[in-house]
Structure 1
Amino acid sequence: MNTIYKSEVGAKELRRRYQAGLDAWPVPAEHIRVPTPEGETFVVVSGPEDAPPVLLLHGSGSNTSMWLRDVASWAQHFRTYALDLIGEPGLSAPSRPPLASDAYALWLDEVLDDLGVESTSVVGMSLGGWVGLDYAIRRPERVTRLALLCPGGVGRQRMGGVVKALLLRPFGRWGMRRSVVGLAGLDPAHGPDVLDHVMLTFEQFRPRTERLPIFPDEVLSRLTLPMMVTVGARDAMFDSQGTARRIRQCVPHATVNVLPEVGHSIFGQTESILAFLRDGHDELNERD
């Protein structure tokens, strides 16, 4: 049995639901499995072959299906590469190398080399935002633009919400629902299917317990690429005000958006991210 899941039955149900999400992918897609030293990596590729590349990195407890609402718009203009992060409930290997190392940068090196992508824009959410930021810091020549949604590694990681969630667990499904709503920042407006899927995931999946390393000021200050960071003011998992403050101080050219009534789960940013990504593409075309 895969150790990142609590049961094989649960793992099969999550894979079944994920396959349904892949079947509902709104644009033509190619499924690629890339061999790496960390194990196989699953990638969903969409968009014109000659379009500029965009790498999509989802958050913890998720997979590429989180981009279902965005990819139809982005794939009109870009070649999108949606990766299942290793160690998460997708179709990539369950490997979880230490976060406080260069392991994730080396892993992305292997994936991008296999895909034939020399450099790319990156869109990352939460854990995926941490991975994208880590890669941009370690491989500045390979990341052209960086769009981050509630990224880890900048503001303090909050543990109070986790403790509250654990206290609610003995109350069964009601407690699970309350903890998911509180931690993920989901509400009925996001749809019952979204909430039910997140609940099932954390009933059957073992999330990481390792804290995301915080990037020091001097490291963040070395970033010169175009960058946009969007956070929710009510984020229960990260200190979003701290994230906004540190990015403004250390990366003054970055665009920082604080959404006042939003928690950790950020939706509805498809067009703002597209505009940010296209700014770079349009500038390049003008120079050519």
Structure 2
Amino acid sequence: MSTIYKSESGASRVRRRYEELLEIWPVPAEHVRVPTGEGETFVVVSGPQDAPPLVLLHGSGANTTMWRGEITSWATHFRTYAVDIIGEAGASAPSRPPLDSDRLALWLDDVLEGLGLDTISVVAASLGGWVALDYAVRRPGRITRLTLLCPGGIGAQKMGWLPIALFLRFFGRRGVRQTARIATGLDTKLTEQVLDDVVLTFTQYKPRTERLPIFSDDALRHLTMPMLVIVGTRDVMLDSAATAERIHRCVPHATVHVLPEVGHAILGQTTTVSNFLLNESPPT
């Protein structure tokens, strides 16, 4: 575990906070550990057993608890599988296979097989969006509906905010908190606890440093499943304008929402996503 953290004590602090949040998961849940070729993968399973499957893939430096605000709604209609991506700040193995290989797709093959899933709907954010896109490209037909929130791999990563982040490091925890505000775009009192959790993680955790590979136009054009893509205009980490433009051009059947004054962390889209997953028109 310490291989992706700065210290074993730091890993323990993050793990304790994760366990606290799992204890207040808002719906009944099962905790499943799935063996894979990359090590054990932790999955939080909720919702009716006979409901259609919905796989949730979180972003970098996060874990399944990022979905706790949406899970009550989604688990009403779906059997939800909130997967801790390997090598991230959850309870899965610390393995970090290269992004320019097929190993994450093979890992997700193992996860789905272990869960007994064939075709699935997916909601994924940021790095999780990259993982979902990589899987959709490599495994045509496995994903039946795909929702991407601020996905990686379409618009380029932005690096202009990094000098500010490096400068703010000199101000200790206060600087880390301000960096978290800039990176996520979360700056309201309603998101203070979320920011606290981000700060706790990133003061102890060593994120991936390689750039996310960009999917080619040809790869995107081969995506045939219904898609919903949501980005924010104030995303400082990914080029949201380029993401929207490329999806419009390469996946013309996709629905794209560009949210004004929203940063990298996209909240409050539960109903929009539910309507898409259920193939329902939004209320007028």
- Common fold, TM-score beyond 0.5? yes
CA distance in 2, matches of 1:127, 1:118: 22
Structure 2 counterpart of 1:209: 209
CA distance in 1, matches of 2:211, 2:267: 24
1:1-288 alignment, distance < 5 Å? 2-279=2-279
Q: CA deviation at 1:174?
A: 2.3
* Comparing 223-232 and 162-171, the one that deviates more: 162-171
Q: CA deviation at 1:263?
A: 0.3
- 8 Å Cα contact 1:51/1:78 also seen in 2: yes
* Comparing 3-12 and 81-90, the one that deviates more: 3-12
Q: Which SS does the other structure have where 1:191 is aligned?
A: helix
Q: Deviations over 1:28-59 (max 9, x none)?
A: 11100000110000000011111100000000
CA distance in 2, matches of 1:259, 1:215: 23
Q: Which SS does the other structure have where 2:203 is aligned?
A: helix
Q: Deviations over 1:126-145 (max 9, x none)?
A: 00010011111111121001
Q: Deviations over 1:222-276 (max 9, x none)?
A: 1111000000100000000000000000000000000001000110011111110
| Letter paired with 2:3 | T
Q: CA deviation at 1:161?
A: 1.4
Q: Which runs of 5+ in 1 are unaligned?
A: 281-288
CA distance in 1, matches of 2:147, 2:46: 19
Q: State, as a whole percentage, how many aligned pairs show the same letter.
A: 64
Q: Which SS does the other structure have where 1:145 is aligned?
A: strand
Q: Runs of at least 4 residues of structure 1 off by over 6 A? A: none
Structure 2 counterpart of 1:283: none
Q: Which SS does the other structure have where 2:134 is aligned?
A: helix
Q: Which SS does the other structure have where 1:121 is aligned?
A: strand
CA distance in 2, matches of 1:161, 1:213: 20
| Letter paired with 1:102 | D
CA distance in 2, matches of 1:109, 1:177: 37
Q: Which SS does the other structure have where 1:279 is aligned?
A: coil
RMSD (Å), alpha carbons: 1.0
Give the TM-score of the pair, scaled to structure 2: 0.97
Q: CA deviation at 1:3?
A: 1.2
- Number of residue-to-residue matches in the alignment: 280
- 8 Å Cα contact 1:162/1:183 also seen in 2: no
Q: Deviations over 1:56-78 (max 9, x none)?
A: 00000100000000011000100
CA distance in 2, matches of 1:124, 1:231: 12
Give the TM-score of the pair, scaled to structure 1: 0.95
Q: CA deviation at 1:184?
A: 1.4
CA distance in 2, matches of 1:176, 1:93: 26
Structure 2 counterpart of 1:284: none
CA distance in 1, matches of 2:218, 2:191: 41
CA distance in 2, matches of 1:180, 1:223: 33
* Comparing 173-182 and 105-114, the one that deviates more: 173-182
- 8 Å Cα contact 1:152/1:212 also seen in 2: yes
Q: Which SS does the other structure have where 1:219 is aligned?
A: helix
CA distance in 2, matches of 1:179, 1:123: 26
Q: Which SS does the other structure have where 2:128 is aligned?
A: helix
